[in-house]
């Protein structure tokens, strides 16, 4: 079977043989390929969006704002200003004469109406072209409105999501250190890189609380401006995921000398491991913390394991494909699938780095296909070729999976079910089980032809 | 009041290239292509996929920083070649974006250049449309894309004798509505050229293996014959230069009927009368019966809904046609709001004439403004897309979902609103919504309503 990979993408796809493979990555998307990637603005928006008491104003034409209105399930326990979509909605005359005046007026009216703790102003592609001086407008409004008005340099064309993460970190970093870090326990952390999808950050906070660890700031899930301003008072930064907020942790390390640990809350192994390294970090201050953590992990496991075992029996031997935004998540998912008896036969990400792909090649089974910045056509070919039972991805991948008769689990920013923590692992197992065991696949033409192929293989072979 | 806000909060519109991409989806073997940076195409795909639950490939020229400075032509050309190699389309529909319009890329020029550079290759048809979002909404993009296809293809085949095909420019309706409409013409025994025809391409059956470009849609060859059709019927409001029907009338004397989208009794009557005027055919008994059933249902349901106040919002054509239907049922439209512009007040006034007072009309509006108006006027129900849910929840007003996008319910692509059938199904929803409220509000919880 020949796979349809565009020539120029050939080295962005490899099949694992000995675990030493590398995947070419960090390239611009190829013109005309239907990339699943987004833009710089998207990256910034993902990271900053959950800060619930800030005003998020998108400076540009309407589309960029319309398509990002409340699309993510980042929950807040209080204010919900982040769920509104504000745009300067630039029109022809603004493009011709410049949008600064409109931006200023928009900030003025919105800050007066909503009383936010800070305002983030995102620039979109067109702003980069018409040359509005975002910084100047923001400085002026900061003075006038007496709140931080922060420019986010996120012109879409200036790279991919990762550059957007960096722009967001730079924007947040202007807040860090501007608040008073008083009354903070020496056993304290900031949670970085969790966006509180489906309330996940609350699960993690709960674990940390049981371990006796104070959380100073959520960055950014259920986030608050004032917490971020004083988060330099925390003793440690926990950075999750593919580095959406890694840059911020690095900046804080440099300026405030706060160490950071990279963690993952997905899957049993990684979740437990993450808690243990936190305990280890603080064990010289709190002698009991390691014991408390062991107890916590034990209790949590006791609660979820019986059901996971049952699910495992039914899923044993099935095959999974993973295509996610960042590669770090893929690491955890590979392990999580092993837990429920499944093997991963295809794994890829939109924005993985060289290092990420080396790691993936190491932890996956021989024969696993590894891809960078893939597209629907390619993904489908692999799904069919590898006989995938379930696909893990985002909303853009869902219809392809379903059209080809493959079960699906939404593991993107739009998910509505908590997948982090021990509870999350159980939810994950249930999600996979729920989709894989549905009777609907029995009717699906693509599945039926798979069965036929197999049986003809058997009788001919 | 919020109408003079400088900024837009919670937009009640989408951007122009998205409308164009959707329209290009309704042509056989066609691939939509957005000339701009990658983000726009990806966002639009996500938005479209969430509504239709269908794969929605849209290619992008993926411009980066240097292209934004030096022009996007090289990437566009490379993109066309790549799409051609990978998808083997019959047509590529290329829409510009805010970015490429502002840096001054001329799509027509670039594609002409491209075609002569690669004259030796077997290339797909290239259709271009200029769609900067700062001067329009998704609906304008849709109409402009249809017009550009007609301008490009109609008349490119030699005009044989006129035949009895009718051109239909349905505008943005659901795939199920397009199926329903083509059924109406089939009942008359007529051939149609529906542009675009998204009935299969955006609502396709399961696949046996990967399909590059969804099957279905109107072919370029059929479009090429549009100039010899018996007449054109187009639904909705068209700004200057947007109407494919007028283009055919002006250049090829194909008579154009501009009608309201056929939602409700009067608009459906108008459609059938137009068909009969064009063809001289009699009304099929089926429609006489359907119309009779609709009247019967209107009577059965009227007491539940008379004087109920409704908020209608969405794209400009959806709003006008929905207001028209509501008037007929006794429901009083009190707010009619759209993010687009289409001379709404005058047209809505005319439609309400003789039925009810003209509602508050909000044009070029956003959901924030709509919410302020709704909090003031307190409608009993809302009709529109998913994006009104926030208001519905906050103000406790039941929401009947129709239009685009439907992101928080299942089956948006199958909602029907057109013809007598569509009116009936809408009426059922409206009456049942009123009954639900009644049932929930009374402590007894009547089991018979
Ligand atoms: S830049 Fe223009 S075309 Fe792109 S998403 Fe924004 S509004 Fe739409
Ligand atoms: S215009 Fe630029 S910033 Fe906006 S969605 Fe498109 S690529 Fe992203």
- Helices B138-153 & B16-24, crossing angle to 10 degrees? 40
Spatial CA neighbour of B391 closest among B368, B409, B407, B408: B368
Phi-psi region of B396 (alpha: psi -120 to 50; beta: other; left: phi over 0): left
User: Quick check: A4 pLDDT over 60?
Assistant: no
Q: Specify the pLDDT at position A327.
A: 80
Are B8 and A34 inside 8 Å of each other by CB?
no
User: Quick check: B240 pLDDT over 80?
Assistant: yes
Average of pLDDT values for A400-425? Answer: 90
Does A109 map to a domain? Answer: yes
User: Quick check: A414 pLDDT over 80?
Assistant: no
Among the partner residues A63, A102, A398, nearest to B6 by beta-carbon distance: A102
Average of pLDDT values for B243-261? Answer: 97
Average of pLDDT values for A347-354? Answer: 81
User: Quick check: A18 pLDDT over 80?
Assistant: no
Pair B233, B216 in one domain: yes
Q: Specify the pLDDT at position A357.
A: 82
Does A62 map to a domain? Answer: yes
Pair A331, A359 in one domain: yes
Q: What ligand 2 atom has the least distance to the C-alpha of B99?
A: 1
Q: Specify the pLDDT at position A454.
A: 62
- The better pLDDT of the pair A352, A382 is held by A382
- Confidence band, pLDDT 50/70/90 cuts, at residue B192: very high
Q: Specify the pLDDT at position B293.
A: 98
How crowded is the C-beta side of A379, counted as CA atoms within 13 Å?
35
Q: Within 10 Å of residue A31's Cβ, how many Cβ atoms?
A: 28
- Confidence band, pLDDT 50/70/90 cuts, at residue A280: very high
Average of pLDDT values for A94-114? Answer: 96
User: Quick check: A458 pLDDT over 80?
Assistant: no
pLDDT above 90 coverage of chain A, percent: 69
Task: Using DSSP bridges, classify how beta strands A86-87 and A54-59 pair: parallel, antiparallel or unpaired.
Answer: parallel
- The better pLDDT of the pair A56, A33 is held by A56
User: Quick check: A2 pLDDT over 80?
Assistant: no
**Domain limits for position B26:** 16-144
Q: Specify the pLDDT at position A24.
A: 62
Pair A335, A424 in one domain: yes
Instruction: Give dist(CA A192, CA A173) in Å, integer.
Output: 13
| DSSP SS3 for A304 | helix
How crowded is the C-beta side of B417, counted as CA atoms within 13 Å?
30
Q: Whose CA is nearest to atom 1 of ligand 1?
A: B98
Pair B115, B178 in one domain: no
Pair A210, A264 in one domain: yes
- Chain A's closest residue to B49, CA to CA, is A396
Q: Specify the pLDDT at position A396.
A: 80
- Confidence band, pLDDT 50/70/90 cuts, at residue A143: very high
- The better pLDDT of the pair A183, A16 is held by A183
Are A67 and B44 inside 8 Å of each other by CB?
yes
DSSP state of A365: P
What's chain A's length in residues?
Answer: 461
pLDDT single digits (tens) B388-422: 999 999 999 999 999 999 999 999 999 999 999 99
Instruction: Give dist(CA B263, CA B421) in Å, integer.
Output: 10
Domain boundary among B251, B279, B307: B279
| DSSP SS3 for A413 | coil
Pair A120, A56 in one domain: yes
Pair A123, A149 in one domain: yes
Ligand nearest to the CA of A90: 1
Q: Within 10 Å of residue B111's Cβ, how many Cβ atoms?
A: 21
Does A461 map to a domain? Answer: no
Does B161 map to a domain? Answer: no
- The better pLDDT of the pair B352, B445 is held by B352
Pair B399, B356 in one domain: yes
What's chain B's length in residues?
Answer: 449
* Three-state helix/strand/coil letters over B202-263: CCCCCCCCCCCCCCCCECHHHHHCHHHCCEEEEECCCCCCCCHHHHHHHHHCCEEEEECCCE
Task: Using DSSP bridges, classify how beta strands B166-169 and B192-194 pair: parallel, antiparallel or unpaired.
Answer: parallel
**Strand order through the sheet with B332-338:** B360-362, B332-338, B309-314, B381-384, B399-401
Q: Specify the pLDDT at position B162.
A: 67
Average of pLDDT values for B321-333? Answer: 98
Ligand nearest to the CA of B38: 2
pLDDT single digits (tens) A368-382: 989 887 777 788 888
Pair A91, A132 in one domain: yes
DSSP state of A51: B
Angle B267-B300-B428 from CA coordinates, rounded to 5°? 60
Pair A62, A20 in one domain: no
Judged by a CB distance cut-off of 8 A, whether residue A396 touches chain B is yes
Pair A254, A286 in one domain: yes
DSSP state of B295: H
Pair B264, B303 in one domain: no
Pair B333, B192 in one domain: no
- Chain A's closest residue to B387, CA to CA, is A69
Question: Which phi and psi angles does A268 have, rounded to 5°?
Answer: -65, -50
Pair A291, A321 in one domain: no
How crowded is the C-beta side of A289, counted as CA atoms within 13 Å?
22
**What mean pLDDT value characterizes chain B?**
95
B102 contacts on A by Cβ (under 8 Å): 95, 126, 129-130
Does A57 map to a domain? Answer: yes
Pair B428, B371 in one domain: yes
Pair B313, B271 in one domain: no
Pair B206, B323 in one domain: no
Q: Specify the pLDDT at position B208.
A: 86
Does B61 map to a domain? Answer: yes
Q: Per the structure, how many domains does chain A have?
A: 3
Average of pLDDT values for A244-262? Answer: 96
Are A157 and B54 inside 8 Å of each other by CB?
no
Instruction: Give dist(CA A432, CA B318) in Å, integer.
Output: 39
- Chain A's closest residue to B133, CA to CA, is A61
Burial, B80: exposed, middle or buried (Cβ in 10 Å; 0-12, 13-18, 19+)? buried
Are A38 and B207 inside 8 Å of each other by CB?
no
Pair B268, B245 in one domain: yes
Judged by a CB distance cut-off of 8 A, whether residue A156 touches chain B is yes
pLDDT single digits (tens) B99-148: 999 999 999 999 999 999 999 999 999 999 999 988 899 999 999 999 99
Pair A119, A235 in one domain: no
Evaluate if pTM is beyond 0.90: yes
**What mean pLDDT value characterizes chain A?**
90
Handedness of CA B136, B141, B147, B151 (dihedral sign): positive
Within 8 A by CB and 6+ apart from A270, the residues are A263, A264, A331, A332, A335
Alpha-carbon gap: A124 to the closest alpha carbon of chain B (Å): 9
Pair B236, B319 in one domain: no
Are B133 and A65 inside 8 Å of each other by CB?
no
DSSP state of B331: -
Pair A44, A93 in one domain: yes
Domain boundary among B110, B144, B178: B144
Instruction: Give dist(CA A321, CA A434) in Å, integer.
Output: 16
- Chain A's closest residue to B34, CA to CA, is A32
Domain boundary among A173, A196, A217: A173
Q: Per the structure, how many domains does chain B have?
A: 3
Does A101 map to a domain? Answer: yes
List, in sequence order, every beta strand (DSSP E) within A146-295. 149-152, 188-194, 214-220, 236-240, 260-263
Instruction: Of A18-27, A349-358, B210-219, give the lowest mean pLDDT range.
Output: A18-27
pLDDT single digits (tens) B262-291: 999 999 999 999 999 999 999 999 999 999
Task: Using DSSP bridges, classify how beta strands B381-384 and B360-362 pair: parallel, antiparallel or unpaired.
Answer: unpaired
Does A457 map to a domain? Answer: no
Instruction: Give dist(CA A277, CA A238) in Å, integer.
Output: 10
β-bridge mates for residue A371, sequence order: A13, A348
Instruction: Give dist(CA A207, CA A421) in Å, integer.
Output: 9
Q: What is the largest CA-CA distance in chain B?
A: 78
- Confidence band, pLDDT 50/70/90 cuts, at residue A3: very low
Instruction: Give dist(CA A427, CA A76) in Å, integer.
Output: 21
Pair B260, B237 in one domain: yes
Pair A243, A315 in one domain: no
Domain boundary among B244, B279, B314: B279
**Taking a C-beta distance cutoff of 8 angstroms, is the pair B190, B166 a contact?**
yes
Average of pLDDT values for A151-166? Answer: 91
Give, for ligand 2, the residue of B16, B21, B39, B43 to mutate: max count of ligand atoms closer than 8 Å to Cβ.
Answer: B39
- Confidence band, pLDDT 50/70/90 cuts, at residue A460: very low
CATH code, domain with A80: 3.40.50.1980
Q: Specify the pLDDT at position A338.
A: 93
- Peptide bond before residue B144 is cis, with ω within 30 degrees of 0: no
Within 8 A by CB and 6+ apart from A452, the residues are none
> What secondary structure does DSSP assign to B72-101, as a single string?
SHHHHHHHHHHHHHHH--SEEEEEE-HHHH
Q: Specify the pLDDT at position B164.
A: 83
Q: Which residues line the pocket of ligand 1, CB cutoff 6 A?
A: A 60-64, 124-126; B 15, 17, 36, 40, 43, 97-99, 133
The ipTM (two decimal places) reads 0.92
Alpha-carbon gap: B209 to the closest alpha carbon of chain A (Å): 6
Spatial CA neighbour of A123 closest among A91, A97, A92, A100: A100
- Confidence band, pLDDT 50/70/90 cuts, at residue A128: confident
**Taking a C-beta distance cutoff of 8 angstroms, is the pair B187, B284 a contact?**
yes
Across the A:B interface, residue pairs with CB atoms under 8 Å apart total: 231
Give the residue carrying structure tokens 């009123």: B434
Q: Which of A29, A44, A61, A66 to mutate to test the interface with B (most CBs of B within 10 A)?
A: A66
Instruction: Give dist(CA B62, CA B39) in Å, integer.
Output: 8
Are B68 and A400 inside 8 Å of each other by CB?
no
Alpha-carbon gap: B190 to the closest alpha carbon of chain A (Å): 33
Q: Within 10 Å of residue A459's Cβ, how many Cβ atoms?
A: 6
Pair B256, B205 in one domain: yes
CATH code, domain with B307: 3.40.50.1980
- Chain A's closest residue to B11, CA to CA, is A66
**Domain limits for position A350:** 7-28+304-449
Among the partner residues B37, B60, B83, nearest to A125 by beta-carbon distance: B37
Does A1 map to a domain? Answer: no
Judged by a CB distance cut-off of 8 A, whether residue A3 touches chain B is no
């Amino acid at each position: 079977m020949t796979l349809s990979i565009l020539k120029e993408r050939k080295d962005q796809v490899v099949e694992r043989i000995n675990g030493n493979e590398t995947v070419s990555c960090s390239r611009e998307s190829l013109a005309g390929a239907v990339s699943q990637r987004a833009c710089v603005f998207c990256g910034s928006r993902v990271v900053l969006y959950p800060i619930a008491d800030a005003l998020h104003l998108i400076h540009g034409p309407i589309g960029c704002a319309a398509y990002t209105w409340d699309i993510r399930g980042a929950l807040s326990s209080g204010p919900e200003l982040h769920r509104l979509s504000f745009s300067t909605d630039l029109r022809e005359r603004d493009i011709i004469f410049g949008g600064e005046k409109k931006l200023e007026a928009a900030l003025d009216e919105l800050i007066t109406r909503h009383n936010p703790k800070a305002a983030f102003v995102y620039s979109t592609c067109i702003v980069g072209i018409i040359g509005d001086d975002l910084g100047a407008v923001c400085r002026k409004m900061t003075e006038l409105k007496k709140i931080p008005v922060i420019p986010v340099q996120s012109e879409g064309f200036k790279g991919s999501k990762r550059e957007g993460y960096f722009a967001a970190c730079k924007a947040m970093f202007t807040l860090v250190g501007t608040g008073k870090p008083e009354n903070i326990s020496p056993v304290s952390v900031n949670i970085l890189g969790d966006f509180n999808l489906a309330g996940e950050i609350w699960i993690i906070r709960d674990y940390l609380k049981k371990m006796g660890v104070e959380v100073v700031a959520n960055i950014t899930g259920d986030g608050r401006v004032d917490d971020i301003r004083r988060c330099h008072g925390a003793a440690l930064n926990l950075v999750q995921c593919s580095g959406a907020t890694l840059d911020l942790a690095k900046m804080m390390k440099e300026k405030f000398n706060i160490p950071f640990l990279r963690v993952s809350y997905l899957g049993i192994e990684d979740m437990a491991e993450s808690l243990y390294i936190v305990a280890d970090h603080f064990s010289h201050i709190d002698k009991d913390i390691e014991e408390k953590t062991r107890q916590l992990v034990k209790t949590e496991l006791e609660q979820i394991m019986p059901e996971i075992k049952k699910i495992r029996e039914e899923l044993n031997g099935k095959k999974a494909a993973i295509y996610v935004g960042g590669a770090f998540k893929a690491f955890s998912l590979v392990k999580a699938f092993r837990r429920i008896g499944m093997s991963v036969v295809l794994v890829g990400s939109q924005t993985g780095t060289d290092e990420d792909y080396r790691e993936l090649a190491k932890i996956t089974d021989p024969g696993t296909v590894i891809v960078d910045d893939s597209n629907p056509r390619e993904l489908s070919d692999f799904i069919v070729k590898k006989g995938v039972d379930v696909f893990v991805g985002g909303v853009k991948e869902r219809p392809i999976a379903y059209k080809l008769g493959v079960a699906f689990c939404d593991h993107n920013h739009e998910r509505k079910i908590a997948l982090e923590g021990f509870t999350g692992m159980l939810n994950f197992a249930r999600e996979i089980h729920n989709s894989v065991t549905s009777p609907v696949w029995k009717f699906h033409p693509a599945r039926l032809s798979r069965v036929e192929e197999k049986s003809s293989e058997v009788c001919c072979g | 009041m919020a109408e003079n806000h400088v900024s837009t909060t919670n937009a009640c519109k989408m951007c122009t290239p998205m409308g164009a991409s959707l329209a290009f989806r309704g042509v056989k073997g066609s691939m939509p292509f957005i000339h701009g940076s990658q983000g726009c195409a990806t966002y639009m795909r996500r938005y479209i996929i969430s509504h239709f639950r269908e794969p929605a490939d849209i290619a992008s020229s993926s411009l980066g920083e240097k292209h934004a400075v030096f022009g996007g032509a090289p990437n566009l050309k490379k993109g066309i070649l790549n799409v051609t190699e990978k998808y083997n389309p019959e047509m590529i529909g290329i829409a510009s974006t805010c970015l490429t319009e502002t840096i001054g890329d001329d799509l027509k020029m670039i594609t002409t250049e491209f075609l002569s550079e690669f004259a030796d290759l077997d290339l797909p048809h290239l259709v271009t449309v200029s769609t900067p979002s700062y001067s329009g909404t998704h609906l304008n993009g849709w109409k402009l894309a249809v017009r550009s296809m007609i301008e490009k293809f109609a008349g490119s085949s030699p005009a044989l004798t006129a035949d009895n095909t009718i051109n239909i420019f349905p505008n943005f309706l659901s795939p199920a509505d397009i199926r329903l409409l083509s059924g109406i013409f089939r009942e008359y025994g007529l051939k149609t050229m529906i542009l675009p025809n998204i009935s299969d391409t955006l609502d396709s059956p399961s696949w046996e293996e990967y399909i590059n470009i969804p099957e279905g849609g109107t072919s370029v060859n059929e479009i090429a014959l549009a100039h010899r059709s018996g007449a054109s019927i187009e639904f909705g409001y068209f700004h200057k230069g947007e109407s494919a029907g007028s283009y055919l009338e002006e250049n090829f004397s194909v008579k154009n009927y501009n009608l309201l989208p056929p939602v409700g009794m009067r608009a459906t009557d108008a459609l059938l009368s137009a068909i009969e005027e064009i063809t001289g055919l009699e009304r099929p008994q089926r429609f006489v019966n359907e119309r009779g059933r609709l009247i019967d249902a209107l009577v059965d349901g009227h007491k539940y809904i008379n004087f109920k106040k409704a908020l209608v919002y969405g794209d400009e054509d959806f709003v006008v046609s929905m207001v028209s239907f509501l008037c007929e049922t006794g429901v009083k439209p009190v707010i009619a709001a759209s993010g687009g512009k289409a001379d709404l007040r005058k047209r809505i006034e005319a439609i309400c004439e003789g039925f009810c007072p003209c509602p508050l009309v909000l044009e070029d509006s956003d959901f924030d403004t709509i919410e302020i108006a709704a909090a003031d006027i307190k409608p009993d129900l809302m009709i529109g897309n998913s994006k009104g849910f926030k208001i519905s929840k906050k103000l406790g007003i039941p929401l009947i979902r129709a239009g685009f996008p439907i992101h928080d319910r299942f089956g948006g692509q199958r909602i029907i609103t057109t013809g007598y059938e569509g009116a009936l199904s809408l009426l059922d929803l409206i009456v049942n919504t009123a009954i639900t409220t009644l049932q929930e509000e009374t402590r007894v919880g009547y089991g018979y309503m």
